[in-house]
A = this chain, B = another copy of it.
Amino acid sequence: MPELRKDAVSNRWVIISTERVKRPTDYSEPVSAQKKQGFCPFDYGNEDKTPPEIFAYRESSNSPNSAGWQVRVIPNKFPVLRVEGELNRRGEGMYDVMDGVGAHEVIIETPDHDKSLADLDVAQVEKVIWTYRTRALDLKNDIRFEYILIFKNHGEPAGATLEHSHSQLIATPIVPKRVSEEVAGAKVYYGYKERCVFCDMIRQEVKDKVRVIIENKNFISFAPFAPRFPFETWILPKKHSPDFLNITKEESYDLAKILKETLLKIKKALNDPPYNYIIHTAPLRHQDGLYTHWHLEIMPKLTKVAGFEWGSGFYINPTPPEDAAKYLQEIEV
């Protein structure tokens, strides 16, 4: 019998449709097999083919926009939002519009064209995470911005237009809808229980054990109870922490470790699938510290989102999270 399950934060229902279950290896062509040869602006030696760098981990002896870096941040060459100007909110008849003000940056995670994030060593992944934090803290100073979304598209089917491993960051002048909904849902739960919904979730997952994938001192990765997508995986700090921006050095190491291991399990289990991940953190100017709890959501791209999902907001997921977690647990990394 299929099951309807409700996400405790967003109140979104999903359909766990076991009639349509697929084996993990039934899914798509591996991302690594899709690699093409050709010029890559993110490779060593091509630093002058990108917009000038904003930030980099590099030897102090070499100069910006030259080779010799480990992680490099540049403005997106085709930004979806522009950094100049004011919002200029206005009406157009009954409709509302404002200028597309924001920041759009690219984090090049490694100089190695052929490595994906899962292949990097933990120290390198930690540099990537610390770069996220560094850029977000800097952009927070711009009072026009209300939110910073950090995300990654891995593989062309997941929306990556360049194959060289990179993440992106978009600072927006309003709090995005999905984030507001999550904050609102967490607030309702807090109003009822006087506890953070994410902290409760962690407690239940640790007790139930059936959806946990990895745990280390500071972090846990698990398949959420009501996942939209097969093998959707969340990583949360175990300690109540509203802001990703407040991550400590020690925590960033543990996060790098659990992120690398989780991604590597997904890569091995699902034949290097395309995926997206996103970091949800509290809005920049928030006062929601009691009930928001930052987290990273990994969404492998294994199924197609079709008319039913677009029309209903319901997701159909053929893989129960308990099966996905069991499968990922057993993969050696």
* Chain A residues packing against B (C-beta within 8 Å): 1-6, 8, 11-13, 15-17, 19-20, 78-82, 85, 92-100, 147, 149, 151-153, 157-160, 168, 170, 172-174, 176-179, 181, 197, 200-201, 204, 207-208, 225-226, 276-280, 297, 299, 304-308, 310-314, 316
Q: How far is the CA of A311 from the CA of B316 in the complex (A)?
A: 18
Instruction: Give the secondary structure class of A's interface.
Output: mixed
Known A-B contacts A20-B78, A94-B204; A3 and B307 likewise in contact (beta carbons under 8 Å) = no
The closest CB in chain B to the CB of A89 belongs to: B4
Residue of B nearest to A277 (CB): B307
The residues of B that contact A80 with a CB separation of less than 8 Å are: 2, 15, 17, 19-20, 308, 316
**Chain B residues, Cβ within 8 Å of A78:** 19-20
Q: Nearest chain-B residue to A276 (Cβ)?
A: B307
Q: Within the oligomer, what is the number of copies of this chain?
A: 2
Q: Does A97 contact B6, Cβ atoms closer than 8 Å? A: yes
Residue of B nearest to A181 (CB): B313
| Known contacts A8-B95, A15-B80, then 13 further A-B pairs from the complex at CB < 8 Å, ordered by chain A residue | A4-B100, A8-B94, A13-B174, A15-B100, A19-B79, A94-B201, A94-B204, A95-B204, A151-B310, A158-B304, A159-B304, A170-B308, A177-B312
The answer for the CA separation of A93 and B12 in the assembled complex, in Å, is 17
- A278–B168 touching, CB < 8 Å: no
Query: Shortest distance in angstroms between A317's beta carbon and chain B's nearest beta carbon?
Result: 10
B314 engages A310 (CB within 8 Å): no
Q: Which residues of B contact A82 (CB under 8 A)?
A: 1-2
- Enumerate chain B residues within 8 angstroms of A159, measured Cβ to Cβ: 304-307
Residue of B nearest to A81 (CB): B2
List residues of chain B with CB within 8 A of the CB of A3.
Answer: 97-100
Which chain B residue shows the least CB distance to A280?
B311
CB-nearest residue of chain B to A317: B80
Q: Which residues from B are CB-within-8-Å of A95?
A: 5-6, 8, 204, 225-226
Cβ 8 A contact of A100, one of B17, B96, B149, B208: B17
Q: How far is the CA of A1 from the CA of B149 in the complex (A)?
A: 21
